[in-house]
């Protein structure tokens, strides 16, 4: 029975320990310094990780500069585990931080009305600016989410849902925090100039400032009531993290096996959101029933400590992916997008709150509706399908890394234009580096691909070419087999070894080549003419991506040895007796890559 993915294995421990250790160091530094809203433990942990990676400390820790998937040093799998499962645990624990005691009907109505306009318009404006500046869609999602909801926590929570890269997480966190700091300087004089009273100025702070601590600090600058109202409106935004995750999961994912909206909802719903909502409900009930009881306040304090440590560990893991050269390449444009998003959000929320404070709710609603309409028009214009396609084609031509979503979009366009030749396919496979969360479907796939293997089809074209991913358990091996299709592939996680054979009559094979596939090595097989065997070596699962060509019209073949094989001791030139038979594993019998589609429903 395989180990559940959410439990760390031995191979994960080094990376998990490093990320949590660096995160704990970040927390300690912040606790030792005088309290300041200008310092965030998440940001300090991220910076510590980046310093370790980009200085001689890297050699002390025996870290390698990361490739697109953070291979091949011993920390890689643990850092991936931190970015997936520890992050999810932190989000669940965050549910216990939601406070509803501040909310009255009047405040709820105003907060809800402003949020109803400011959140979608922030999303639209961010993406319009990102498209104009050539910033990747996933980065725009992170900046929009951090601006709309709750700063760095939202950035980290959204990253797996929107297919972001870890360096994009780090850049987005830095961008969001910079504009939180800017708000600490700018909001108070602006509120005074507009003539907002203390309570409404606090509501504005909670609805427009990204980072939680900064939002409350800005509100407190306005006065005691300002701090309370900032906490109330900011808590309302934190509650919105759950529906935002769900909406973006449905909006962004159209992956393998997806049918209609209902099928996508089941397949892509972030299930950890249930834990977040359950703890939020428990906090609301406990606050009402237990109030200031010592055990209850102690539980709240423990949860706060857990969230701080886990989020700092996640941020440290992000920092350990932030190579300085990559930061300099995209950081300036991301900063500009963040500036547009933050300025728009602050301006629209200020206009609505100021009008409401003066007893003009209809005018406030009209301002909100106008903001949404204008931002949506800009979004539609700047993110049209043609613009997205041209931007993606430029990334492909420039040799930039491609996510699975980008690769499948390109494959569809190339096929429609009849330019899907093997040269383009090789280039695409070389540039294909899945983003955070894009390989979860293959890790969780119920579809067998032989003993110890799972697989899934991410894209299948009318020409017969398909993009497939295979996840192999440690120690698993395929039989000696030949595909009924041409294949281009590469290893992206774990370690694989390929053994190639030559037929020696109808009942014998000879081993002619064996090699361990390095990270991102390309492999090509020529259909039925290339008998081979692939096995996962090492102590953690491996994943390889495959572009499968059209079927040749007959099923694949499998060679069954007369005696059990000792793969470790098999030398080049060894002769293996046995018999050939039809390969009846899913996807090998001539039925095509459609066998890798998870059934809808």
**DSSP 8-state code for residue 82:** I
Any domain includes 5: no
> 588 with 552: CB under 8 angstroms?
no
pLDDT-wise least confident of 181-190, 230-239, 400-409? 230-239
Measured CA to CA, the distance from residue 502 to residue 511 in angstroms comes to 7
The 10s digit of each residue's pLDDT in 494-545 is 889 999 999 998 899 999 999 998 788 889 999 899 999 999 998 788 999 9
Whether residue 354 is found in the same domain as residue 424:
no
- Whole-angstrom distance, CA of residue 211 vs CA of residue 225: 19
Query: Are residues 111 and 238 both part of a single domain?
Result: yes
Same domain, 46 and 79: yes
Has residue 70 been placed in a domain?
yes
Amino acid 327: pLDDT: 55
369 & 389 share domain: no
> Residues 293-302: what's their mean pLDDT?
87
Residue 113 has pLDDT above 50, yes or no: yes
Please check whether residues 463 and 417 belong to one and the same domain: no
* Statement to judge: residues 163 and 224 lie in one domain: yes
Query: What's the confidence (pLDDT) of residue 104?
Result: 61
State the pLDDT confidence band at 272, using cuts at 50, 70 and 90: low
- Does one domain contain both 580 and 480? yes
Residues 50 and 142 reside in one and the same domain:
yes
Is residue 229 situated within a structural domain?
Answer: yes
pLDDT at 432: 93
Average pLDDT over residues 382-390: 89
Q: For the chain, give the percent of residues with pLDDT over 90.
A: 34
Please give the mean pLDDT across all residues of the chain.
83
Res 600: pLDDT: 58
Residue 260, φ and ψ in degrees, nearest 5: -80, -170
Would residue 365 count as lying in a domain?
A: yes
Last residue of a domain, one of 382, 401, 418: 382
pLDDT at 2 over 60: no
Q: How far apart are CA 294 and CA 28, in angstroms?
A: 25
b/e map 146-163, b = 16+ CB within 10 Å:
bbbbbbbbbbbbbbbbbb
Query: What pLDDT score was predicted for residue 108?
Result: 75
Read off the CATH number of the domain in which 468 is found. Answer: 2.60.120.10
**What total of structural domains would you count in the chain?**
3
pLDDT(595) > 70: yes
pLDDT in tens, 356-372: 999 999 999 999 999 99
Q: Are residues 221 and 331 in the same domain?
A: yes
Helical residues (DSSP H) of 383-421, grouped into ranges: 385-397, 404-416
What six digits make up the tokens of 102?
A: 């501040």
Query: Does the structure show a pLDDT above 70 at 256?
Result: no
Share of the chain above pLDDT 70, in %: 88
- pLDDT higher than threshold 60 for residue 329: no
> Does any domain span residue 134?
yes
Asked whether residue 1 carries a pLDDT value surpassing 90, the answer given is no
The answer as to whether 601 is a domain residue is no
Confidence (pLDDT) at 577: 95
Closest Cα partner for 542 from 571, 577, 561, 518?
518
Structure token pair of residue 440: 């979860």
Q: Which residues of 78-117 are buried (b: 16+ CB within 10 A; e: fewer)?
A: bbbbbbbbbbbbbbbbbbbbbbbebbeeebeebbebbbeb
Region 173-182: mean pLDDT is 79
Q: What is the pLDDT of residue 267?
A: 44
Residue 3 included in any domain:
no
Work out whether strand 522-526 and strand 485-493 pair parallel, antiparallel, or are unpaired. antiparallel
Residue 264 pLDDT: 40
Q: Identify the domain containing residue 421 by its residue range.
A: 385-431
- Is residue 154 within 8 A of residue 244, CB to CB? The reply is yes
Cis peptide bond N-terminal to 401, omega within 30: no
196 CB burial (10 A radius; 0-12, 13-18, 19+): buried
- Residue 47 reports pLDDT greater than 50: yes
The pLDDT, as a whole number, for residue 87 is 73
Band of residue 11 on the pLDDT scale cut at 50, 70, 90 = confident
Averaged pLDDT, 177-189: 81
Question: What are the distances in angstroms from CA 122 to CA 219, 352, 475, 544?
Answer: 21, 14, 48, 38
321 or 15, greater pLDDT: 15
Residues 204 and 327 in one domain: yes
Per DSSP, the three-state class of 188 is helix
Q: How confident is the model at residue 161 (pLDDT cuts 50, 70, 90)?
A: confident
Torsion angle (degrees, nearest 10) of CA 242, 248, 253, 258: 60
Mark whether 404 and 481 lie in a shared domain: no
Q: Could you say which of 372, 398, 431 is where a domain stops?
A: 431
User: Does residue 575 lie within any of the structural domains?
Assistant: yes
Do 369 and 448 share a domain, yes or no?
Answer: no
111 confidence band (pLDDT: 50, 70, 90): confident
DSSP, residue by residue, 40-71: -HHHHHHHHHHHHHHSTHHHHHTPPPP-TT--
Does residue 258 carry a pLDDT above 50? Answer: no
pLDDT interval class at 597 (50, 70, 90): confident
């Amino acid at each position: 029975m395989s180990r559940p993915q959410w439990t760390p294995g031995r191979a994960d421990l080094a990376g998990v320990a490093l990320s949590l250790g660096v995160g704990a160091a970040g927390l300690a530094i912040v606790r030792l310094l005088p309290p300041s809203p200008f310092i965030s433990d998440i940001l300090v942990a991220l910076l510590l990780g980046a310093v370790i990676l980009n200085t001689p400390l890297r050699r002390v820790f025996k870290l390698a500069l990361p490739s697109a998937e953070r291979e091949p040093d011993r920390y890689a799998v643990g850092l991936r585990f931190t970015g997936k499962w520890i992050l999810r645990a932190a989000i669940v624990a965050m549910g216990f931080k939601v406070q509803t005691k501040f909310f009255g009907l009047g405040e709820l109505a105003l907060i809800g009305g402003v949020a109803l306009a400011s959140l979608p318009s922030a999303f639209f404006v961010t993406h319009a600016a990102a498209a104009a500046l050539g910033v990747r869609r996933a980065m725009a999602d992170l900046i929009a989410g951090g601006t709309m909801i709750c700063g760095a926590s939202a950035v980290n929570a959204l990253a797996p849902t929107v297919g972001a890269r870890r360096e994009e997480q780090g850049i987005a966190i830095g961008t969001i925090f910079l504009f939180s700091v800017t708000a600490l300087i700018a909001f108070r004089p602006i509120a005074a100039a507009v003539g907002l009273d203390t309570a409404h100025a606090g509501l504005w702070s909670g609805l427009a400032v990204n980072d939680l601590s900064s939002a409350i600090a800005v509100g407190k600058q306005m006065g005691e009531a300002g701090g309370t109202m900032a906490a109330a409106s900011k808590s309302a935004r934190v509650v919105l993290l759950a529906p935002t995750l769900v909406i973006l999961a449905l909006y962004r994912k159209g992956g393998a096996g997806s049918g209609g909206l209902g099928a996508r909802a089941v397949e892509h719903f972030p299930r950890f959101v249930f834990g977040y909502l359950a703890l939020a409900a428990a906090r609301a009930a406990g606050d009402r029933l237990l109030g200031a009881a010592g055990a209850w306040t102690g539980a709240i304090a423990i949860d706060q400590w857990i969230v701080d440590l886990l989020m700092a560990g996640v941020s440290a893991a992000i920092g350990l992916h932030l190579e300085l050269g990559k930061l300099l390449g995209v950081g300036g444009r991301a900063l500009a997008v963040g500036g547009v998003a933050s300025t728009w959000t602050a301006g629209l929320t200020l206009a609505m709150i100021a009008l409401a404070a003066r007893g003009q709710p209809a005018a406030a609603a009209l301002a909100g509706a106008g903001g949404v309409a204008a931002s949506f028009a800009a979004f539609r214009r700047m993110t049209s399908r043609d613009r997205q396609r041209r931007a993606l084609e430029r990334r492909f031509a420039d040799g930039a890394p491609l996510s699975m979503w980008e690769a499948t979009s390109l494959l569809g366009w190339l096929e429609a234009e009849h330019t899907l030749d093997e040269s383009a396919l090789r280039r695409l496979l070389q540039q294909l580096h899945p983003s955070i969360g894009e390989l979860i479907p293959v890790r969780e796939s119920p579809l067998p691909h032989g003993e110890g293997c799972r697989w899934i089809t991410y894209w299948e074209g009318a020409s017969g070419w398909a993009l497939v991913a295979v996840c192999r358990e440690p120690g698993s091996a395929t039989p000696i087999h030949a595909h009924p299709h041409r294949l281009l592939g590469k290893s992206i996680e774990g370690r694989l070894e390929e053994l190639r054979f030559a037929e020696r009559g109808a009942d014998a094979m000879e081993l002619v080549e064996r090699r361990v596939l390095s990270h991102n090595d390309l492999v090509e097989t020529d259909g039925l003419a290339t008998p081979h065997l692939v096995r996962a070596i090492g102590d953690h699962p491996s994943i390889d991506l495959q572009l499968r060509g059209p079927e040749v019209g007959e099923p694949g073949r499998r060679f069954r040895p007369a005696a059990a094989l000792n793969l470790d001791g098999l030398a080049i030139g060894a002769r293996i007796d046995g018999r050939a038979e039809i390969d009846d594993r899913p996807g090998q019998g001539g039925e095509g890559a459609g066998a890798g589609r998870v059934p809808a429903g």
